[in-house]
Amino acid sequence: MGLTYQSTGKLTSRVTLHTKSATYDYVIALAGNPNTGKSTLFNALTGLRQHTGNWPGKTVQRAEGTFQHNSRQYKIIDLPGTYSLLANSADEEVARDFICFARPDATIVVVDATCLERNLNLALQVMEITSKVVVCVNLIDEARRKKIRIDINKLSNRMGVPVVATAARSGEGLPRLLEAIEDVAGGCILPKPKLVRYGQMVEEAVAWLEPRVRDAVGEDINARWLALRLLDGDINLVKAMEKYLNDREAVTVIPVAREGWA
């Protein structure tokens, strides 16, 4: 058994989001668009070791389960299926807040191999929040049937994160996926996501705001992503920070946010 959240004393936000436990080594988030086979993958990884309920204060269903790999205990949270993390719906807000504030040890982003371009939008948004990402190109058997060919290694190099092809229904690719999850969660691989670069005006504003955000919240939240959201006037994110961060961080970031909005 490795380090647990209890032994390391990590993060009150993890308590709020019900991820704190001494019985597992890593917390894994499972994100993806609807109809990508995400739930099939969740069931394949956890079997009957799962239960459902609602997210705290929400009517959004929460599914979580456990699995073991190489003597490590994993807890996996199946986030609501979403097309983005811009928090325009309760599902998107739940998914965004969990990845941002619970800070899972790895986030699997499930994409549909038969409509990759549309699905990668969410993967790019997740990569702006956390570098600990594994992209799971699911339904690879359907893609083969439709004569769609995907260069997995090239995609991984272009994105800067591990990419694994799977067919969750048949179990194809799951051993390789488990290895990738272990490598990222355990720190054996340090992904370096290739982030979206915006126009000059936006990038100059980010360059000005990002260090101020970092001074306010430290290294726990990706300062570039937070600066982008503040520049976009995301008042709901500031409210989420008041909910999940300690008083010092939340109080400090509000005037920084006002600077960004000015």
45/118 same-domain check: yes
170/225 same-domain check: no
Residue range 98-119: mean pLDDT, rounded: 94
Q: Is residue 259 in some structural domain? A: no
Please, is 51 exposed, middle or buried when counting C-beta atoms within 10 Å of its C-beta (0-12, 13-18, 19+)?
A: exposed
Q: Is residue 225 in some structural domain? A: yes
Q: Is residue 71 in some structural domain? A: yes
Q: Say how far apart CA 16 and CA 33 lie, in whole Å.
A: 25
Q: Is residue 168 in some structural domain? A: yes
Whole-prediction pTM value? 0.86
Q: Say how far apart CA 202 and CA 199 lie, in whole Å.
A: 5
> What CATH number corresponds to the domain at position 151?
3.40.50.300
Q: Say how far apart CA 204 and CA 135 lie, in whole Å.
A: 30
Strands 163-165 and 133-138: parallel
Q: Is residue 129 in some structural domain? A: yes
Task: Out of 156, 186, 216, pick the residue that ends a domain.
Answer: 186
For the chain, give the percent of residues with pLDDT over 90: 62
31/140 same-domain check: yes
Domain count, the chain: 2
Alpha carbon separation from 15 to 62, 77, 138, 169, 217 (Å, rounded): 15, 14, 31, 33, 19
Q: How confident is the model at residue 51 (pLDDT cuts 50, 70, 90)?
A: confident
Residue with tokens 């058997």: 141
73/108 same-domain check: yes
| Strand ranges, E, within the chain | 26-32, 50-54, 61-69, 72-78, 106-112, 133-138, 163-165
Q: Is residue 159 in some structural domain? A: yes
pLDDT tens for each residue of 211-220: 988 888 787 7
164/59 same-domain check: yes
Residue range 180-192: mean pLDDT, rounded: 97
Which of residues 180 and 13 earns the better pLDDT score? 180
pLDDT tens for each residue of 2-28: 333 344 334 445 555 556 567 889 999
Q: Is residue 75 in some structural domain? A: yes
Residue range 130-146: mean pLDDT, rounded: 97
84/113 same-domain check: yes
| Strand ranges, E, within 142-243 | 163-165
Range in 37-46, 94-103, 148-157, 186-195 the model is least confident about: 94-103
Q: Is residue 92 in some structural domain? A: yes
Range of the domain at 231: 200-247
